[in-house]
């Protein structure tokens, strides 16, 4: 493993984050306040959960483009199960999450059983799952959830937004799994050399199947949090979130070819993106202009780390 | 020498050349499948509802989606070389705004048409250089470009639509020889591109690069330069697609259809362009675009809610991909 | 046909990689219309020499003259322009493109309008293939649908299309079945008659004596001799190649042979594993000889659960077992050190430590957590025991030499405490020193009671190391020969037996 170059990328990124935070705090007094930062954390939870699962998927050399559609489908089903089918909300949400997880499992089956390249497989299910969401919802949105449901997306536990706890927990668990367990080791091995992994008796197919299922699960959880945060469900929820999540993962140092990457890197990448979005909008730059900057940061960060690596490890 | 005699004797048992259809299928398997699907769909839906093949509906099917087919031509070339571009949807949005603004500002119409092509080439030249010379994977570069273009578009337009377009500018609503301009664009550009990819050394080198980069290098093909070139050409097609997209309505919206880039990629892939590079044709990508449009229209004519459109297309893509995989596995 | 003046001469060629001199002032020449065989063990410098001739490497010292003129090749294109073409072992073709296009890619005939003249491309390809007596190859077929032998003929046609004067063939028969070998030899003779000079790299003595006009032997990067083929016999050539006798090269360790550990009966999988039955005992080295494509590797893959048997019985220590995956094989005590080290054996970007533990990672864990300390300790032990030369156990395996990489793969599988260790080409691409070390390791393993199956293309290695030799051809066992009776002739005869029905 290129531990050195990895650390270098993450350190570089963390430094960049610090610089950005300092610069932005000079731009606006409201930026570096506890309230604002916690609120930003709230906003990045959904992408965060998806990006954490995506880190694993990309580290195996795969990709999952269907997460945004799974999010939309799960959101719609939560509403439909609750309002139209008449299930109690907790049951409805659980059932919807189960469907979202199953959607991820289907991705895994298509990729492992039928050997369809992940990009194509999830491109197809991206259309399929979003289509199901649109078909089921018939463009109707579901509103009027009970008050307690908003605890998840709009309120705090111990002074910290509820969903931020979930993201934090997910990040810690995922980091530990990726860094210290046999499962994490398998992920890196598969991403670096799938054939050799198979020849070493690692369960390549099972691992991949589990990862795509987990990716579906993460998107489904994100969906319920999303619904709770915005108080409504719509079939277009989560459109394009896959690209945001991939951006965070790649920015965080995970190689798009697999074999390399950490959850910490992804989280730093995520924070960097969110800080830029927020800080710039506070500084008066129009909200969508910040997206441009994120794109530029993505390209420049990879360019910089490419240059580092080449000058550093050339023998 | 006995062995030579033996080999000559073999010549008498030369296997017959396989039949025309078998050869057609071997070379253009996916294209034939897609074409057959279109024909079957037309036949079935027309039986249910004869108005399906009215001139009016055909115009909708072919013209309304021509810009996707044109964009998919460039995308097919990029994918053939083993790269990908997820930013083309956002690029088309930006180019449409540039073109419309120029038209409204009173610049000559031809300039408003030419500008998106040139800007598209310039933007993609930068992308191509980053991919070919800075060695950043194309998916990463274009992911970044997607953010930059999308953000740029919204922050510049502020979400407002461009209206009061000069009537002469709206070329997509005009006709050439009684045929809608988008249809003519789509057909002519597809044939030109297909010819270029089949009959020029440059066009063939795209297949070589995507099929076996190492061997391409050994053959003396300048891979980096060709990669930049193919992105630039792709940019030109994005510009041409923009002309059709921007001029099809009386206004230019500040957004493009969601996931437009994925639709364009899907058209190329379903048309038979291997995502791993090295094979596929633009005839296939155009046929696939027509297939999607036909399905969309067909659903309306057989009274399926339009809301199910994407689910059906998704299912169809999945079926095509699985069938292709099984076919390949059967072969090898 | 052969004239006496050389078309290409290389004089005093030297080349070093990372301080190691792999070629020391070697001279070599090729005349028009001759077949010049190039012989030497793995690592003797053959491939370095031909890579210089074909423009892939630039020499550190030495001169190349073509047709009497001094030249410098900085790319394969330069060499191609000078009339030198190479048919590579790993063929450089485009699988998705047609035969005709592969022949003329980058060199298309054009019509008056400047576009590619496909009719002409196909017609000229047809001509070239016909000249090679290859009437049965469709010029429109995609290369991915062709057999190895057919692809090779496409490569040769490609060389001829550029009017190559010199054709370099690097182990062209390594992966051909016998009938295709005969056909290739006919083609080579025909090319020779047309005045093409051929550099023929091969290990196989019968082919060399059947084809070559002259032969050059390299050993340890140095030129040993260049002789007319009439001046030498096989024993002399082997002696020149090896530089010592086979006995001293393969120190056979004496181990006591114990009970049967593996029994295979009527095993089948596809075309390459047919009706295989044999027994393997503790402390025994069972050599498997056979040409590439004879089913040796496929048999190993079936025993290892990679391509599970479709019928037949496998018994481990008297118990009937089914092996459906490498995991199951591992748990039963079967280990496989694969043929393709880079692709199948190692994760090159990962540290030695992680590669060594890869097959035993569950055992090195408590619950789901990897015991990092124990993992490191075991890796250190393995490095010491197999004398793997490295900076530390955190070094990526890709940075090691071929021999040390191979030792890491062996270490990985020794961690599983195998009862049966299958070694597929264990010393391919390994220098002479490491080769001896690997043989010593094998000797120690059998002393500890491990049963070893060794697949090798090198006949001397098979004969020198094995207690018993199984010979395979066409997916079947065509001979089982005890050490005492194993002579090159007997094994060679069995290797080419059963060739019917295997033609492409």
- If DSSP codes are grouped into helix, strand and coil, which group holds residue B156? helix
Interface A–B counts its CB contacts (< 8 A) at: 151
Residue B332 binned pLDDT confidence (cut-offs 50, 70, 90): very low
The chains found to touch B (3+ Cβ pairs under 8 angstroms) are A, C
B168 vs C: CB within 8 A = no
Give the 3-state secondary structure of B138-150.
HHHHHHHHHHHHH
pLDDT, position B8: 39
Q: Which residue has the higher pLDDT, B7 or C144?
A: C144
How far apart are the CA of B123 and the nearest CA of chain C, in angstroms?
29
Q: Beta strands of C5-155 (E only): which ranges?
A: 8-17, 20-30, 35-39, 61-66, 69-71, 84-87
pLDDT of A180 reads 93
pLDDT at B2 over 60: no
Answer yes or no: are the C-beta atoms of A279 and A28 closer than 8 Å: yes
Query: How far apart are alpha carbons B214 and B220 in whole angstroms?
Result: 10
Lowest-pLDDT choice from B173-177, C192-196, C421-425, C440-444: B173-177
Q: B308, A134 in Cβ contact below 8 A?
A: yes
Taking CA atoms, A71 is separated from A49, A128, B256, in Å, by 11, 13, 22
Q: Do A181 and C368 touch (CB under 8 A)?
A: yes
Residue of A nearest to C335 (CA): A200
pLDDT tens digits, residue range A176-234? 999 999 999 999 999 999 999 999 999 999 999 999 999 999 999 999 999 999 988 88
How far away is chain B from the Cα of A156, in angstroms, using its nearest Cα?
Answer: 32
Q: What is the pLDDT, as a whole number, of residue A310?
A: 52
DSSP-derived 3-state class of residue C498: coil
Taking the CA of residue C126 and the nearest CA in chain B, the distance in Å comes to 13
Mean per-residue pLDDT, C398-403: 84
Whole-angstrom distance, CA of residue C256 vs CA of residue C14: 47
The candidate with the shortest Cα–Cα distance to C276, out of C304, C313, C301, C307, is C313
- Residue predicted with more confidence, B300 or C433: B300
**How far is residue C99's CA from residue B314's CA, in Å, rounded to a whole number?**
36
Helix (H, G, I), strand (E, B) or coil at B1: coil
Mean pLDDT, rounded, for A80-106 = 94
HEC sequence for chain A: CCHHHHHHHHHHHHHHHHHHHHHHHHHCCCCCCHHHHHHHHHHHHHHHHHHHHHHHHHHCCCCCCCHHHHHHHHHHHHHHHHHHCCCCHHHHHHHHHHHHHHHHHHHHHHHHHCCCCHHHHHHHHHHHHHHHHHHHHCCCCECCCCHHHHHHHHCEECCEEHHHHHHHHHHHHHHHHHHHEHHHHHHHHHHHCHHHHHHCCCCHHHHHHHHHHHHHHHHHHHHHHHHHHHCCECCCCCCCHHHHHHHHHHHCCCCCCCCCCCHHHHHHHHHHHHHHHHHHHHCCCCCCHHHHHHHHHHHHHHHHHHHHHHHHHCC
In the predicted structure, residue C32 carries a pLDDT above the cut 70? yes
Within 13 Å, how many C-alpha atoms sit on residue A38's CB side?
15
Q: How many angstroms separate the CA of residue A249 from the nearest CA in chain C?
A: 20
Give the pLDDT band (50/70/90) at residue A286.
low
Q: Give the residue from B229, B213, B212, B194 showing the smallest Cα distance to B78.
A: B229
Q: What is the pLDDT of residues A196-212, one digit of tens each?
A: 999 999 999 999 999 99
Q: Which of C136, C142, C189 sits opposite B1 (nearest CB)?
A: C189
- CB contact A200 to C (< 8 Å): yes
Question: Looking at the predicted structure, is the pLDDT value of residue C246 above 60?
Answer: no
Is the sign of the CA dihedral B269, B272, B276, B278 positive or negative?
negative
- The token pair that represents C366 in the structure block: 């408590």
Task: Give yes or no for residue C40 having a pLDDT over 90.
Answer: no
Asked whether residue C19 carries a pLDDT value surpassing 80, the answer given is no
Q: Which member of C344, C348, C399 has the closest CB to residue A199?
A: C344
Preferred mutation among A73, A299, A303, A307 to probe B, highest tally of B CBs within 10 A: A299
Measure in Å the smallest separation between the Cα of A280 and chain B Cα atoms.
Answer: 13
- Each residue of B189-227: pLDDT tens digit? 999 999 999 999 999 999 999 988 888 887 888 999 999
Q: Are B176 and B182 a contacting pair, CB within 8 Å?
A: no
Q: What integer is the mean pLDDT of B19-47?
A: 80
Chain C, residues 322-341, CB within 8 A of chain A, namely 325-327, 329-330, 336, 338
More confident residue, A31 or A315: A31
C-alpha distances (whole Å) from B91 to each of B95, B105, B133, B147, B151 are 6, 21, 22, 10, 11
Our CA angle for C426, C427, C432, nearest 5°, is 155
pLDDT tens for B282-305 read 999 999 999 988 888 888 887 777
Question: Encoding tokens for residue B169?
Answer: 């500018």
- Burial of C194 by CB count in 10 Å (0-12 exposed, 13-18 middle, 19+ buried)? exposed
Tell me if C92 and B3 make a contact (CB, 8 A cut-off). no
DSSP of C149-183, one letter per residue? HHHHHHHHHHHHHTT-SEEEEESTTTT--HHHHHH
Task: Indicate the helix (H) or strand (E) that contains C214.
Answer: strand C214-219
Percent of chain A surpassing pLDDT 90: 49
Residue B6's pLDDT is what?
40
Q: Residues of B with CB below 8 A from C185's CB?
A: 3
Of A216-220, C34-38, C138-142, where does mean pLDDT reach its minimum? C138-142
Max avg pLDDT among B23-32, B298-307, C55-64, C432-441: C55-64
Chain C CB within 8 Å of residue A2 CB = yes
Q: How many CB atoms lie within 10 A of CB C112?
A: 6
Instruction: Name the residue with higher pLDDT: A209 or A300.
Output: A209
C427: closest CA among C412, C445, C416, C440? Answer: C440
Residues of chain C positioned with their CB less than 8 A from the CB of A198? 306, 326
B10 in C contact zone (CB under 8 Å): yes
The pLDDT score that the predictor gives to residue B10 is 40
C454 DSSP β-pair partners: C287, C423
Indicate yes or no: CB of A201 within 8 angstroms of CB of C347.
no
Q: For residue C123, what are the CA distances in angstroms to A8, A116, C152?
A: 57, 38, 19
Can you count the helices (H) and strands (E) in chain B?
14, 2
Q: Average per-residue pLDDT in chain A?
A: 87
Q: How far apart are CA A267 and CA A275, in angstroms?
A: 12
> DSSP characters for C66-98?
ETTEEE--SSHHHHHHTTEEEE-SS----TTSB
**Contact call for A125 and B308, based on CB within 8 A:** no
State the smallest CA–CA distance between residue A148 and chain B in angstroms: 32
How many beta-carbon pairs below 8 A join chains A and C? 77
Tell me which of A190, A200, A315 to substitute to probe the interface with C (most C C-beta atoms closer than 10 Å).
A200
How open is the CA angle B118-B228-B146, to the nearest 5 degrees? Answer: 65
Distance from the B181 Cα atom to the nearest Cα atom in chain C, whole angstroms: 29
Q: Can you tell me whether residue C51 is helix, strand or coil? A: helix
List CB contacts (< 8 A) between A193 and chain C.
343, 346-349
Q: Which two three-digit tokens encode residue A213?
A: 């299922």
Q: Which two tokens stand for residue C137?
A: 């190859």
pLDDT computed for residue B1 by the predictor: 36
Residue-wise DSSP of B69-136: HHHHHHHHHHHHTT---S-HHHHHHHHHHHHHHHHHTT--HHHHHHHHHHHHHHHHHHHHHHHHTS--
Residues of A with Cβ-Cβ distance to B135 under 8 angstroms: 306
Of the listed ranges A102-111, B80-89, C455-464, the one predicted with least confidence: C455-464
The residue of chain A with its CA nearest to that of B86 is: A243
Give the residue from chain B lying closest to A128, CA to CA: B314
Q: CB-CB: which of A185, A193, A260 is closest to C361? A: A185
- For β-strands C166-170 and C197-201, DSSP reports them as parallel
- Residue A292: pLDDT above 90? no
Residue with tokens 């409201």: A30
For residue A302 the two structure tokens come to 């990879």
- What distance lies between CA A6 and its chain's CA centroid? 20
Q: Report the interhelical angle of A289-313 vs A241-251 (nearest 10°).
A: 30
């Amino acid at each position: 493993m290129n531990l050195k170059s990895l650390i270098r990328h993450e350190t570089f990124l963390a430094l960049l984050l610090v610089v950005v935070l300092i610069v932005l705090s000079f731009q606006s007094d409201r930026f570096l306040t506890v309230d604002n930062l916690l609120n930003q954390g709230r906003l990045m939870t959904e992408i965060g959960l998806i990006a954490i699962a995506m880190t694993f998927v990309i580290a195996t050399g795969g990709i999952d483009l269907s997460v945004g559609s799974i999010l939309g489908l799960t959101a719609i089903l939560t509403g439909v199960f609750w309002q139209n089918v008449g299930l109690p909300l907790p049951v409805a949400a659980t059932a919807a999450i189960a469907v979202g997880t199953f959607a991820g499992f289907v991705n895994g089956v298509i990729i492992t059983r039928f050997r369809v390249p992940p990009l194509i497989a999830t491109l197809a299910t991206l259309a399929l799952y979003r289509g199901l969401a649109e078909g089921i919802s018939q463009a109707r949105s579901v509103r009027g959830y009970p008050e307690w449901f908003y605890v998840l997306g709009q309120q705090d536990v111990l002074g910290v937004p509820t969903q931020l706890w979930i993201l934090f927990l997910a990040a810690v668990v995922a980091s530990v799994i990726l860094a210290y367990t046999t499962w994490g080791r398998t992920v890196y091995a598969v991403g670096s050399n799938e054939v050799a992994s198979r020849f070493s008796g690692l369960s390549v197919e099972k691992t991949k199947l589990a990862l795509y299922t987990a990716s579906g699960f993460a998107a489904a959880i994100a969906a319920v949090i999303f619904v709770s945060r915005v108080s409504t469900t719509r079939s277009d929820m989560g459109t394009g979130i896959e690209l945001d999540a991939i951006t965070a993962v790649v920015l965080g140092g995970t190689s798009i070819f697999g074999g390399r990457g950490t959850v910490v890197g992804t989280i730093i990448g995520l924070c960097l993106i969110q800080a830029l979005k927020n800080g710039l909008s506070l500084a008066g730059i129009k909200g969508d202009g910040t997206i441009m900057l994120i794109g530029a940061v993505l390209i420049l960060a990879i360019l910089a780390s490419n240059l580092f690596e080449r000058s550093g490890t050339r023998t | 020498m006995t062995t030579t005699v033996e080999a000559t004797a073999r010549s008498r048992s030369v296997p017959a050349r396989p039949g025309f259809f078998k050869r057609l299928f071997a070379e253009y398997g996916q294209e034939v499948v897609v074409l057959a699907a279109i024909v079957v769909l037309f036949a079935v839906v027309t039986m249910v509802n004869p108005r399906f093949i009215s001139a009016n509906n055909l115009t909708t099917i072919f013209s309304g989606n021509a810009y996707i087919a044109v964009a998919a031509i460039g995308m097919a070339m990029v994918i053939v070389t083993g790269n990908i571009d997820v930013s083309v949807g956002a690029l088309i949005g930006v180019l449409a705004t540039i073109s419309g603004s120029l038209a409204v500002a009173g610049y000559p119409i031809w300039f408003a048409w030419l500008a998106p092509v040139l800007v598209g080439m310039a933007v993609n030249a930068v992308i191509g250089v980053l991919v070919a010379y800075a060695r950043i994977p194309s998916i990463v570069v274009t992911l970044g470009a997607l953010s930059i273009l999308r953000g740029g578009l919204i922050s510049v337009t502020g979400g407002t639509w461009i209206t009061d377009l000069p009537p002469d500018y709206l070329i997509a609503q005009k006709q050439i020889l009684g045929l809608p301009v988008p249809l003519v664009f789509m057909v002519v550009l597809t044939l030109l591109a297909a010819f270029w990819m089949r009959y020029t050394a440059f066009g063939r080198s795209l297949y070589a690069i995507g099929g076996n980069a190492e061997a391409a290098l050994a053959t003396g093909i300048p891979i980096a330069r060709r990669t930049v070139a193919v992105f630039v050409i792709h940019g030109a097609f994005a510009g041409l697609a923009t002309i059709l997209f921007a001029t099809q309505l009386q206004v230019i919206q500040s957004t493009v259809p969601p996931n437009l880039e994925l639709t364009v990629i899907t058209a190329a892939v379903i048309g038979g362009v291997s995502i791993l590079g090295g094979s596929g044709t633009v005839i296939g990508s155009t046929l696939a675009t027509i297939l999607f449009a036909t399905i969309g229209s067909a659903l309306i004519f057989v009274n399926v809610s339009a809301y199910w459109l994407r689910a059906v297309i998704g299912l169809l893509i999945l079926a095509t991909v699985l069938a292709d995989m099984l076919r390949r596995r059967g072969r090898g | 046909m052969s004239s006496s003046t050389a078309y290409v001469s290389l004089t005093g060629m030297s080349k070093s990689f990372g301080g190691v001199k792999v070629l020391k002032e070697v001279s070599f020449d090729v005349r028009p219309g001759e077949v010049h065989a190039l012989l030497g063990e793995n690592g003797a410098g053959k491939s370095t020499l031909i890579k210089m001739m074909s423009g892939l490497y630039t020499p550190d010292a030495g001169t190349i003259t073509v047709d009497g003129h001094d030249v410098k090749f900085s790319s394969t294109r330069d060499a191609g322009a000078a009339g030198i073409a190479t048919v590579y072992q790993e063929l450089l073709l485009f699988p998705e493109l047609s035969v005709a296009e592969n022949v003329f890619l980058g060199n298309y005939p054009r019509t008056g309008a400047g576009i590619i003249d496909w009719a002409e491309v196909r017609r000229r390809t047809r001509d070239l293939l016909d000249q090679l007596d290859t009437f049965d190859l469709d010029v429109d077929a995609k290369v991915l649908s062709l057999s190895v032998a057919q692809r090779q003929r496409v490569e040769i046609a490609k060389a001829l299309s550029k009017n190559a004067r010199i054709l370099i063939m690097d182990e062209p028969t390594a992966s051909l079945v016998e009938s295709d070998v005969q056909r290739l030899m006919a083609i080579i003779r025909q090319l020779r008659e047309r005045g093409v000079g051929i550099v023929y790299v091969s290990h196989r003595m019968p082919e060399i004596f059947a084809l070559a006009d002259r032969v050059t032997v390299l050993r340890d990067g140095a030129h040993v001799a260049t002789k007319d083929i009439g001046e030498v016999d096989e024993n002399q050539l082997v002696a020149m190649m090896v530089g010592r006798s086979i006995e001293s090269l393969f120190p056979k360790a004496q181990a006591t042979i114990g009970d049967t550990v593996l029994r295979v009966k009527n095993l089948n999988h596809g075309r390459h594993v047919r009706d295989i039955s044999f027994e393997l005992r503790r402390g025994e080295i069972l050599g498997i000889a056979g040409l590439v494509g004879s089913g040796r590797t496929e048999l190993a893959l079936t025993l290892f659960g990679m391509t599970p048997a479709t019928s037949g019985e496998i018994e481990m220590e008297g118990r009937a077992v089914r092996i459906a995956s490498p995991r199951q094989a591992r748990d039963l005590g079967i280990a496989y050190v694969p043929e393709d080290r880079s692709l199948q054996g190692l994760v090159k970007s990962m540290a030695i430590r992680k590669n060594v533990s890869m097959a035993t990672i569950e055992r090195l864990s408590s619950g789901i957590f990897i015991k990092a300390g124990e993992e490191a300790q075991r890796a250190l032990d393995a490095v010491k025991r197999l004398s793997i030369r490295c900076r530390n156990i955190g070094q990526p395996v890709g940075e090691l030499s071929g021999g040390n990489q191979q030792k890491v793969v062996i270490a990985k599988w020794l961690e599983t405490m195998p009862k049966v260790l299958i070694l597929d080409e264990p010393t391919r691409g390994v220098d002479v020193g490491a080769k001896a070390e690997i043989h010593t390791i094998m000797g120690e393993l059998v002393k500890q009671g491990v049963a070893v199956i060794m697949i090798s293309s090198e006949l001397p290695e098979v004969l020198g190391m094995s207690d018993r030799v199984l010979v395979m051809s066409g997916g079947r066992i065509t001979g089982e020969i005890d050490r005492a009776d194993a002579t090159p002739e007997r094994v060679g005869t069995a290797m080419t037996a059963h060739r019917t029905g295997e033609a492409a």
